[in-house]
Amino acid sequence: MGLDWGELRRGLAKTRPYLLSHHLPERRHRCYHLRPLGHRIDVCARCSGVYPGIVLGILAFFLAPGPFASLVVIAVLPLPALLDWTLTSLGNYRGYNPVRTGTGAALGYGYGLGLGQLFLVGDLAVLVVGVVYAALAGALLVLQRRRSLA
pLDDT digits (tens, 9 = 90+) for 90-109: 878 889 999 999 999 999 99
128-146 pLDDT, tens per residue? 999 999 999 999 989 888 8
Confidence label for 2 from pLDDT (cuts 50, 70 and 90) = confident
> Which DSSP letter does residue 120 get?
I
pTM of the predicted structure, to 2 decimals: 0.84
Is 19 a residue whose pLDDT tops 80? no
Q: Mean pLDDT highest for which of 3-12, 14-23, 106-115? A: 106-115
Instruction: Determine contact, residues 127/135, Cβ cutoff 8 Å.
Output: no
Report the Cα 11 to chain-centroid distance in Å: 24
* The pLDDT value given to residue 39: 82
* The pLDDT value given to residue 54: 96
Residues above pLDDT 90, as percent of the chain: 57
Instruction: Determine contact, residues 111/50, Cβ cutoff 8 Å.
Output: yes
Expressed in percent and rounded to 5, the helix, strand and coil fractions of the chain are 75, 5, 20
